[in-house]
Amino acid sequence: MSKGLMLYPEPKAATPEGKPPFPYILLKHREIADIYRLEVYRANSGYEALAKTLKEYKPDQVIDLVKASGLRGRGGAGFSTGMKWSFIPKDESIVKYVACNSDESEPGTCSNHEIIVGNPHQLIEGILIACYATGSKIGFIYIRGEFARGARILERAVEEARAAGLVGGNILGSDFSCEIVVHRGAGAYICGEETALLESLEGKRGFPKLKPPFPANVGGGVYGAPTVINNSLTLATVPHIMLNGAEWFTQWGTEKSKGIAIYSLSGHVERPGNYELPMNTTFRTLINELGGGVWKGRKLKCIIPGGSSMPILPGTDEVLDTTMDFEGVVARGSMLGSAGIIVFDDQTCIVGAVLRLVEFYKDESCGKCTPCREGTQWLVQILHRLEHGHGRPEDLDLLLSVGGNIQGKAFCLLGDSAPIPITSAMKLFRAEFEYHIKEGRCMVGSGSNRSPKHEVAVAQ
Amino acid sequence: MNNGTTASEHKLSEEARQRIYALRNNYPEGRSASAVIPALHIVQAEIGFISTEAVGEVAGLLDMLVSEVEQVVTFYRMFFTKPVGKYVIKVCDSISCYLRGSDELLEKGKEKLSLKLGETTPDGRITLMKIECLAACSAAPCAQVNDEYVYNLNPELFVAMLEELKTAEENPYYLP
């Protein structure tokens, strides 16, 4: 088999000259293939940000600079990174930790693994700076278990960095000492939820915990110590900001969403891939220009703009002309989330797609709270009979009712997210759901030729 | 299903035990339970699944209760509590892979291997299963062979992969 199938594919030439649409920052490994090696990373300004930080900045000044850059968390919530760091107690007698959330599992999001495999030192440097800024002596990298190769690469990179005096005691001759621990999970979407991640890191089941205390509080983080939890992309961005300054970062983006982000483009497009772009780029530019438009010459039906937990948006001009910043997407009735953009063509049966989306939450529900554990199973049962031609007239109201009894009543955001594909799809495409009930088959796509009531195992 | 295996084959080698004990150094004093997931990865790599015997050994090495280790084993999807095939093929069937044909791969796999999802071929070589989002959405449909990724599949490539795995000595999809 071809080795090509084993390496994460870059999008096919996004411009006629084969140049990236925007200069690579976090994705530099696409130009410098060996940048995963320490000597190559250092030859390309690697660890200069750390050296500069240790020499020229006090921890508080690092926090101020990151605040000034406007960097916001890339994991989904979009909270100010500098602000988050500032919540960590300053008292030196209190032990603190940094935990990098590399548990990338949100359907539609696929950028963390690429930057970890391609450029592990960039992430390690970012974690070291975060540890320095918050007074932490250990930075944990919680990497999802399936990223076995990513974990191997990170472990090798940590050893390389340690041998060069970049990890461990008295880093670069300073009085700053810090360990980096690569910690592999073992397959659980819920561990991307920050309190579940902490439980998992302590060697327990990944059950979310009640907040407060928040992870930054005494009693709230790992081992009860104040803990900063940041996404891999967020931390990998930090060295670039420290090296080039806050203003360098704020030159891009919008008033409230600064800088660049990596957008994962997937689904029915000609050129899926991870695209690193300024945060004021429109969906039209990403999907139609860079992504080559909807595949097979078909028309756009709808998109999910930020990973599968975000409401579906219609494929209208108004949506396409929206900028992919936190506020722009909210104004259209959805959220940017983890910047995973999923494209659906006009031959997609929305009922089938929604069933598949909700099955994910059913399978990944941790089982801790009843509304989510039971509710997601009911949602899937009802959607399953709808999809397979056994729907009942009352099913649409029933779906909304069950969904409403999960949202706001579940322990964490997983439960709140599960009904979102249903509510948002029904708002846009209710006729397709009704068609499924009346005709017993799909209104569009290959399933429209199917005989009604074709599947046997259906919930009663 | 590994007929004829004896209890001793379900125990850890001395080397694995030492590696697990050394994992304690990664975590602060008194926090050895943190090493349980990394430890169970070592167990599964050596034995092929998480045996009852190994659960007891891990508990002893990390100062945990057997029940605490069991809770972890049964919660996390990657840990198998029974023997599986030499190669476990996990096909992602979440939304981005679904949109680009992951169900076809699963159908082909079931047909070519004559099994249902979750089953292992009689020769013990291949287990076929589906898995939730592997976070390779822009390289869909994707799959894993054991813990190694295979990107941008299609039915023809998938069938070729199955053929290859029927005889492969080592996982051909392993990259260091």
Predicted local confidence at residue A457, as pLDDT: 53
Q: What is the mean pLDDT of residues A221-229?
A: 98
Residue with tokens 């360098």: A248
Q: Do A264 and B100 touch (CB under 8 A)?
A: no
Q: Which residue of A has its CA nearest to B134?
A: A105
Predicted local confidence at residue A449, as pLDDT: 80
Q: Which residue out of B50, B133, B134 would a mutagenesis test of the A interface target, given it has the greatest number of A Cβ atoms within 10 Å?
A: B133
Predicted local confidence at residue A18, as pLDDT: 64
Query: Which chain B residues are Cβ-neighbours of A304 within 8 angstroms?
Result: 95
Query: Which chain B residues are Cβ-neighbours of A205 within 8 angstroms?
Result: 71-72, 75
Q: How confident is the model at residue A10 (pLDDT cuts 50, 70, 90)?
A: confident
Q: Do A186 and B76 touch (CB under 8 A)?
A: yes
B148 sits in which H/E element: strand B148-150
Looking at CA atoms only, how far is residue A222 from chain B in angstroms? Answer: 10
Alpha helices (runs of H) in A209-274, residue ranges in sequence order: 232-244, 246-250
Predicted local confidence at residue B1, as pLDDT: 42
Task: Determine contact: A173 vs chain B, CB below 8 A.
Answer: no
> Which of A451, A460, A277, A299 lies closest to A382, judged by CA?
A460
Q: Do B138 and A356 touch (CB under 8 A)?
A: no
Q: Which pTM was predicted?
A: 0.96
Predicted local confidence at residue B39, as pLDDT: 98
Amino acid of residue A410? A
Looking at CA atoms only, how far is residue A407 from chain B in angstroms? Answer: 22
Structure tokens of A398? Answer: 């029933």
Predicted local confidence at residue A455, as pLDDT: 56
Task: Determine contact: A301 vs chain B, CB below 8 A.
Answer: no
Q: Are strands A340-345 and A313-314 parallel, antiparallel or unpaired?
A: unpaired
**Mean pLDDT of all residues belonging to chain A:** 95
Q: Do A188 and B136 touch (CB under 8 A)?
A: no
Looking at CA atoms only, how far is residue A56 from chain B in angstroms? Answer: 30
Neighbours of A431 (CB within 10 A): 11
Predicted local confidence at residue A17, as pLDDT: 63
Task: Determine contact: A185 vs chain B, CB below 8 A.
Answer: yes
Q: Do B133 and A107 touch (CB under 8 A)?
A: yes
Predicted local confidence at residue A283, as pLDDT: 98
Looking at CA atoms only, how far is residue A356 from chain B in angstroms? Answer: 6
Looking at CA atoms only, how far is residue A267 from chain B in angstroms? Answer: 5
Task: Determine contact: A265 vs chain B, CB below 8 A.
Answer: yes
Q: Do A1 and B64 touch (CB under 8 A)?
A: no
Neighbours of B7 (CB within 10 A): 9
Write the DSSP symbol of residue A2.
Answer: -
Q: What is the mean pLDDT of residues A341-356?
A: 98
Residue in B62, B75, B77 nearest the CB of A205: B75
Q: How confident is the model at residue A13 (pLDDT cuts 50, 70, 90)?
A: low
Task: Indicate whether A21 pLDDT > 70.
Answer: yes
Write the DSSP symbol of residue A282.
Answer: B
Q: Do A8 and B151 touch (CB under 8 A)?
A: yes
pLDDT, tens digit, for every residue of A281-326? 999 999 999 999 999 999 999 999 999 999 999 999 999 999 999 9
Residue in B95, B132, B153 nearest the CB of A108: B95
Looking at CA atoms only, how far is residue B95 from chain A in angstroms? Answer: 6
Task: Determine contact: A389 vs chain B, CB below 8 A.
Answer: no
> Which of A354, A391, A392 lies closest to A376, judged by CA?
A354
Looking at CA atoms only, how far is residue B5 from chain A in angstroms? Answer: 26
∠B123-B129-B135 over CA atoms, to 5°? Answer: 135
Query: Which chain A residues are Cβ-neighbours of B138 within 8 angstroms?
Result: 9, 11, 110, 264-266, 272-274
Predicted local confidence at residue A193, as pLDDT: 96
Cα–Cα distance measured from residue A440 to residue A378, given in angstroms and rounded to the nearest whole number: 20
Q: What is the mean pLDDT of residues A12-35?
A: 82
Radius of gyration of chain A (CA): 23
pLDDT, tens digit, for every residue of B49-77? 999 999 999 999 999 999 999 999 999 99
Interface of A with B in 27-86 (CB under 8 A): none
| Crossing angle of helices A232-244 and A59-69, rounded to 10° | 100
Predicted local confidence at residue A178, as pLDDT: 98
Q: How many residues does chain A have?
A: 460
Q: What is the pLDDT along chain B (176 residues), one digit of tens a residue?
A: 444 445 467 899 999 999 999 999 999 999 999 999 999 999 999 999 999 999 999 999 999 999 999 999 999 999 999 999 999 999 999 999 999 999 999 999 999 999 999 999 999 999 999 999 999 999 999 999 999 999 999 999 999 999 999 999 999 999 99
Q: Do B149 and A189 touch (CB under 8 A)?
A: no
pLDDT, tens digit, for every residue of A70-116? 999 999 999 999 999 999 999 999 999 999 999 999 999 999 999 99
Q: Do B26 and A273 touch (CB under 8 A)?
A: no
Q: Which residue out of B65, B137, B159, B170 would a mutagenesis test of the A interface target, given it has the greatest number of A Cβ atoms within 10 Å?
A: B137
CA distances from A90 to A60, A96, A135, A382, B83 (A): 9, 10, 8, 52, 50
Structure tokens of A199? Answer: 């439980």
Give the residue with greater pLDDT, A167 vs A5: A167
- Tally C-beta pairs within 8 A across A and B: 179
Alpha helices (runs of H) in A323-417, residue ranges in sequence order: 326-331, 350-364, 370-387, 395-406, 413-417
Q: How confident is the model at residue A2 (pLDDT cuts 50, 70, 90)?
A: low
Q: How confident is the model at residue A15 (pLDDT cuts 50, 70, 90)?
A: low
Predicted local confidence at residue B3, as pLDDT: 44
Q: Across the strands, what pairs with A274?
A: A264
Predicted local confidence at residue A447, as pLDDT: 82
> Which of B33, B72, B130, B20 lies closest to A191, judged by CA?
B72
Predicted local confidence at residue A460, as pLDDT: 44
Q: Check if the beta carbon of residue A21 is closer than 8 Å to that of residue A277.
A: yes
What own/partner pairs with CB < 8 Å and gap ≥ 24 does A319-322 have? A319/A283, A320/A282, A320/A283, A320/A284, A320/A287, A320/A288, A321/A282, A321/A283, A321/A284, A322/A282, A322/A283
Task: Determine contact: A106 vs chain B, CB below 8 A.
Answer: yes
Task: Determine contact: A267 vs chain B, CB below 8 A.
Answer: yes
Q: Check if the beta carbon of residue A168 is closer than 8 Å to that of residue A137.
A: no
Looking at CA atoms only, how far is residue A104 from chain B in angstroms? Answer: 6
Structure tokens of A77? Answer: 């919530």
Cα–Cα distance measured from residue A82 to residue A416, given in angstroms and rounded to the nearest whole number: 27
